[in-house]
């Protein structure tokens, strides 16, 4: 595919349009979100449909597609790695990459847990930030909820459990061979100090 002219790719509105097309292409490939799949050195773009990728690989893919096949330049992969991670609550009907359901799926909470997460910033395209995992940009990017505490515990069968609280609102308990459970600690909104938005990504 030939690259657009430098005049086109230098126009902020055109850059936003191109990035939207890149996100749509990634979603159309039906990639699978898998935390451990961080490889992004594909020799052909886009990689085959159904490829397993994580959020860093997805962000790098969006950057490469935009730069190597669409002529954009100076895109940045930016990340956020809080100490104990954060969650992104699933909106109804939303899947990561359009294919992968929330990893925590209980009646009380449906969400993905992230130890770190990556997005793509375009300093020349209205400084928009894009999230290829969710196919979103700017104000449409999902917000997250920071962990407010994390502890280890042992259940009555001697199994080790990890207990994480997010935003002092959700207590998530999980362990190998045990079902994940969620307790809602309060009904009030999460304190803004626990909210993860684009401003946290650098």
Give per-residue pLDDT as tens, 55-97. Answer: 999 999 999 999 999 999 999 999 999 999 999 999 988 999 9
- Asked whether residue 98 is domain-assigned, the answer is no
pLDDT tens-place string over residues 178-202: 899 999 999 999 999 999 999 999 9
* Domain coverage including residue 50: 1-81+116-143
- Asked whether residue 15 is domain-assigned, the answer is yes
In sequence order, what E strands does 95-197 have? 104-105, 110-114, 117-122, 128-131, 136-137, 144-154, 160-166, 170-175, 178-184, 195-196
- What is the number of structural domains in the chain? 1
| 20, HSE (Cβ side, Cα atoms, 13 Å) | 9
- Asked whether residue 30 is domain-assigned, the answer is yes
- Asked whether residue 99 is domain-assigned, the answer is no
Q: Which two tokens stand for residue 68?
A: 């190597």
Q: Tell me the whole-structure pTM to 2 decimals.
A: 0.91
pLDDT tens-place string over residues 140-157: 999 999 999 989 887 767
């Amino acid at each position: 595919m030939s690259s657009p002219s430098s005049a086109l790719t230098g126009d902020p509105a055109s850059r936003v349009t191109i990035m939207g097309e890149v996100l749509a292409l990634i979603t159309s490939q039906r990639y699978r979100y898998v935390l451990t799949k961080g490889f992004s050195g594909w020799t052909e773009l886009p990689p085959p449909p159904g490829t397993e990728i994580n959020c860093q690989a997805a962000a790098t893919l969006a950057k490469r597609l935009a730069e190597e096949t669409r002529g954009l330049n100076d895109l940045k992969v930016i990340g956020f790695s809080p100490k104990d991670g954060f969650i992104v609550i699933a909106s109804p009907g939303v899947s990561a990459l359009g294919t992968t359901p929330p990893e925590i799926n209980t009646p009380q909470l449906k969400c993905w847990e992230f130890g770190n997460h990556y997005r793509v910033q375009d300093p020349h395209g209205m400084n928009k930030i894009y999230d290829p995992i969710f196919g979103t940009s700017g104000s449409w990017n999902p917000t997250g909820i920071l962990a407010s505490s994390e502890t280890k515990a042992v259940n009555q069968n001697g199994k080790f459990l990890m207990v994480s609280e997010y935003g002092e609102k959700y207590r998530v308990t999980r362990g190998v061979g045990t079902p994940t459970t969620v307790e809602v600690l309060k009904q009030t909104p999460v304190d803004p100090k626990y909210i993860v938005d684009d401003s946290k990504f650098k």
